[in-house]
Chain A
């Protein structure tokens, strides 16, 4: 079974802190994604990566950056956390790009609260 793990289930940080959210998948997937999920807004794509060292902005990249030094690991970085970044963060991976019609495997999510 594909496993996507996220470093924390719950995280509480203070405004202005630099926050690292880590995601690791164990099935050699090329493609990885970071979403945030907010009530009434559904899932919104923050960043994605189709290869190591490669990253692309999603719909809401402002205030975030990512790092993909190794194929299995995709990190989301909040450069200076703000209260409006309080959200559920979901990482996903897929074997092939979305246009080839492959399912995405999601991690359990990290619920981040910024005080």
Chain B
């Protein structure tokens, strides 16, 4: 089964608004990563947060991690039409299988 599950499955906002996507996972993790996928293309890594970190920033991206709730969130501030894409979380579980496990993704649409 998928380790990470994103919520919501789809999100539609206006340019300039903030977008928040959530990811929940089942077992203790070593690290959690967020990726973006533009339509019909490969995934691009956005940000990685380790289990001992609570928050991380990269440009307009802010990722939080709550290990007690087994959840992470990705916030995109001041969104642009170019942010329209699918966003995936991927986690590596401690003591588990030796691979990243991807969620099913959140499809974000930013309307101009």
Q: What separation, in Å, do the CA atoms of A104 and B33 have in the docked complex?
A: 10
Q: Contact check, B98 vs A106: say whether CB atoms are below 8 A apart.
A: no
Decide if A41 is an interface residue (CB 8 Å cutoff). yes
Interface string of B42-78 (1 = CB under 8 A from A): 1111001010000000000000000000000000000
Q: What separation, in Å, do the CA atoms of A101 and B93 have in the docked complex?
A: 11
Decide if A11 is an interface residue (CB 8 Å cutoff). no
> With contacts A45-B99, A98-B99 known, is A90 near B42, CB below 8 A?
yes
Name B9-55 residues within 8 Å CB distance of A: 30-31, 33, 35, 40-45, 48, 50
CB-nearest residue of chain B relative to A101? Answer: B31
Interface string of B76-94 (1 = CB under 8 A from A): 0000000000001010100
Q: Which residues of chain B are within 8 angstroms of A88 by Cβ–Cβ distance? A: 40
Q: How many residues of chain A have a CB within 8 Å of chain B?
A: 26
Q: Contact check, A101 vs B50: say whether CB atoms are below 8 A apart.
A: yes
Chain B interface, >50% SS class: strand
Interface size grouping (class) on chain B: 20 to 34
B33, B43, B50, B99: the one contacting A90 at CB < 8 Å is B43
Instruction: Kindly provide the distance from the CB of B51 to the nearest chain A CB, expressed in whole angstroms.
Output: 9
Interface residues of B (CB under 8 A from A): 2, 30-31, 33, 35, 40-45, 48, 50, 88, 90, 92, 98-105
Given contacts A98-B100, A99-B92, A104-B43, 20 further A-B contacts (CB under 8 A): A33-B99, A35-B102, A42-B103, A43-B43, A48-B99, A56-B98, A58-B99, A88-B40, A90-B42, A90-B43, A97-B98, A98-B92, A98-B98, A98-B99, A101-B50, A104-B35, A104-B100, A106-B42, A107-B42, A109-B42
